[in-house]
């Protein structure tokens, strides 16, 4: 087996240079309501304002600009629960690359439409991420495309890690960072960079309780498969890959605390963000707020919650808010 080259802080700085003009430096905003509840300063790192509405723009941009001219000529392919596909579609469009996005038929239709609107060829196939992935692999071979992996790729991890550079520039005294955790590209990048900048930083991974693939894998000591479920945090669904090379070992190395949140807690967090902060946050982006509101996040402040995305189905948010208001 070839020796694995884990990305490091220098890779994150290089990523930032490469993607500077394609992504935004997102705001870090103090939350009055959450700071009061937590008894510590709580800040929101708002990846919701990133192009295509999630942090995935960072990793996708870093990967795509680094491709060879020949790879760019042939185009790219991605498999995705939605936000990764959207980011790959947008970054490809900006660079004039062709993109194919494969996803399972379980992905909500509003997400599929968003990718089509960005000019990607969308292939909806199968009932699980694994089936969609198998389909993506066969199309990749057939058409000689480059696969842009959603999380287990050093370029993608380094791109997501640029979030930590911005956090420490804006708030050098950051003591804890809570990160939504699924495949672990976001966690691995942010945690590696944060710990490299200040090894005392506490890194908390937050997953939804119904299907926490990374946390089950950490418990098992190796990547494991878990059954797919529906969740308000639909961008956290999917496995970590049985052949995982980077994000599993990196998450295991850097994680200080793991937190699971229920569907009810995620819904309450989305509603809280909307009513108290006037922010539209998707379920996956709200898991840090959910952990805090549920009293599960007891870590030193200042605490930064990475708000990973805002691509919520408007009907879903409407129903949750209406249910709360009508109580």
Ligand X SMILES: *Cc1c(COP(=O)(O)O)cnc(C)c1O
Among 184, 239, 241, 302, binds ligand X (CB under 6 A): 184
- Strand pairing of 42-46 and 28-30? antiparallel
- The residue sitting closest to ligand X, measured at its beta carbon, is 309
Cβ contact 212:266 at 8 Å:
no
Residue 75 vs 239, nearer CB to ligand X? 239
Cα dihedral sign, 120-46-17-191:
negative
Pick out residues in 90-149 that bind ligand X (CB under 6 A).
none
Among 75, 159, 223, 309, binds ligand X (CB under 6 A): 309
Cβ contact 163:67 at 8 Å:
no
Residue 184 vs 223, nearer CB to ligand X? 184
Q: Which stretch binds ligand X (CB under 6 A): 12-20, 118-126, 280-288, 313-321?
A: 280-288
Among 284, 288, 292, 303, binds ligand X (CB under 6 A): 284
With residue 292 as reference, give the H or E element that holds it: helix 287-293
Distance CA 98, CA 75 (A): 5
282 binds ligand X (CB under 6 A): yes
48 binds ligand X (CB under 6 A): no
Distance CA 203, CA 213 (A): 18
Q: Which stretch binds ligand X (CB under 6 A): 17-25, 127-135, 177-185, 252-260?
A: 177-185
Among 159, 161, 183, 302, binds ligand X (CB under 6 A): 183
| Bond into 105 cis (ω within 30) | no
From the CB of 100, what's the least distance to ligand X, in Å?
19
Distance CA 128, CA 197 (A): 38
């Amino acid at each position: 087996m070839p020796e694995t080259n884990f990305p490091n802080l220098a890779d994150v700085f290089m990523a930032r240079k490469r993607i500077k003009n394609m992504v935004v430096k997102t705001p870090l905003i103090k939350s009055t309501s959450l700071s009061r509840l937590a008894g510590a300063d709580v800040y929101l790192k708002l990846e919701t304002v990133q192009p295509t509405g999630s942090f995935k723009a960072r990793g996708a941009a870093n990967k795509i600009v680094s491709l060879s001219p020949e790879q760019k000529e042939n185009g790219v392919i991605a498999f995705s629960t939605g936000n990764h596909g959207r980011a790959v579609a947008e970054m490809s469009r900006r660079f004039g690359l062709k993109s194919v996005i494969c996803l399972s038929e379980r992905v909500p239709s509003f997400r599929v439409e968003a990718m089509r609107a960005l000019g990607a060829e969308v292939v909806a196939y199968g009932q699980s991420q694994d089936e969609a992935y198998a389909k993506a692999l066969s199309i990749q071979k057939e058409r000689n495309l480059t696969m842009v992996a959603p999380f287990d790729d050093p370029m993608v991890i380094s791109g997501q890690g640029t979030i930590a550079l911005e956090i420490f520039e804006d708030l050098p005294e950051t003591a804890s960072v809570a990160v939504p955790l699924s495949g672990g590209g976001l966690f691995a990048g942010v945690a590696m960079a944060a710990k490299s900048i200040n090894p005392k930083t506490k890194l908390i991974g937050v997953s939804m309780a119904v299907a926490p693939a990374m946390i089950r894998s950490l418990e098992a000591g190796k990547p494991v498969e878990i059954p797919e479920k529906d969740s308000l945090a639909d961008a956290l669904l999917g496995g970590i890959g049985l052949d995982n090379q980077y994000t599993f070992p990196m998450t295991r190395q850097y994680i200080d605390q793991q937190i699971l949140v229920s569907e009810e807690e995620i819904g309450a967090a989305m509603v809280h963000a909307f009513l108290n902060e006037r922010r539209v946050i998707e379920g996956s982006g709200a898991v840090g707020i959910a952990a805090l509101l549920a009293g599960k996040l007891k870590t030193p402040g200042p605490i930064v919650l990475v708000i990973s995305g805002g691509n919520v189905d408007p009907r879903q948010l409407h129903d949750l808010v209406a249910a709360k208001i009508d109580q």
